[in-house]
Amino acid sequence: MASCKVPRRSCSTIAGPWPLVMPRKGILNRTAAARTTTTAPRQTVVMFEDFTEEMVDGAGGLRLMVRHGGAGPAVLLLHGHPRTSSTWHRVAPLLVDAGFTVACADLPGYGRSDKPTPAPDHSPHSKRAGAGHLLAAMRNLGHDKFAVVGHDRGSYYALRLALDHPDHVTRAALLDCLPISEHLDRADARFATEWWHWFFFAQPELPERVINADPDTWYRGDPASMGEHNHAEWRAAVHDPEVVRGMLEDYRAGLGIDADHERADRAAGRRVQQPLLVLWSTRDDLEDLYGDPLTIWRDWADDVTGHGLDSGHHIAEQAPEDLTTALGEFLA
């Protein structure tokens, strides 16, 4: 069972087929590799040396699963779809070595975090609601001010944290991200063809039925590139229908209430006040679709820098050293 190193906060063990995180030596140690299936007993998985794993209160009683460790300025790492916080297993220890306190949270509705109750307008899964949970969790961990790094869907929560809570977020780094409203305002046949899953996920009920029928075929995770322990945690997540529902609700909120919130920000003249770093994977399609992403981001932030990284979409897994170097220079 997972231990709780910080007794002043409530820490609960995680039930179910989830692989648990225990200390280990080296970010690529695979000596205790285990494959998790929906019927296998729980297995001990070794990742995140010297990190604490616990359930931390967000807002309104919703709890988030957070891994945290290190000493120094705090930085919150937010994963994308369909990953969990374990996607950072190669980056988080490097940032700790660079002198940061690092927190990696499962997004609301994802992984082992609590699942908001769906609503017709999808507001419980909005990035504004999620940012509120993440801020509360960080403050409960003792971090009133922190930097935030988000990838893919996690970048939308990071953006909302920066826009809604500028007194708490010191810097923001967004990976493979443009604002949702910018995507939608530019949507054409090519975008709809290549990013069709956004619109499929928005349909009621059908995506759950399709994905839950065969999650492995739908998501196609690769333990060789992900790392076996990260893959085991990811696979446990995508085999949980409640997680699948939570992830889909994230997308449904994105096309409606989240895009509305972004457009309201633009109409009111709200911008990202903090220094903003934008990174993108050059072997993904963001640059192919839109050219230089910085051109778009300059409409949203005054102090924006960034560049591409030689990687596929999952930068934290595929180019952890290059990513850590870029983040370390920005966060210093």
Residues acting as catalytic residues: 152, 313
Instruction: Round to whole Å and give the CA distance between 321 and 95.
Output: 10
Instruction: Round to whole Å and give the CA distance between 205 and 203.
Output: 7
Which pair of structure tokens corresponds to residue 264? Answer: 């309201």
In 140-217, which ranges are E strands? 146-151, 169-175
Q: Which of 108, 111, 102, 81 is nearest to 27 (CA)?
A: 102
DSSP calls for 20-56: EEE--SSTT--TT-----SSSPP-EEE-STT-EEEEE
Q: What percent helix, strand, coil does the chain show, rounded to 5?
A: 40, 15, 40
Contact 166, 269 (CB under 8 A): no
Which pair of structure tokens corresponds to residue 55? Answer: 């359930």
Our measurement of the distance from residue 86's CA atom to the centroid of its chain's CA atoms, rounded to an integer in Å, reads 10
> Largest Cα–Cα distance in the chain?
54
Q: Which of 10, 220, 214, 21 is nearest to 111 (CA)?
A: 21
Contact 66, 104 (CB under 8 A): yes
Contact 67, 103 (CB under 8 A): yes
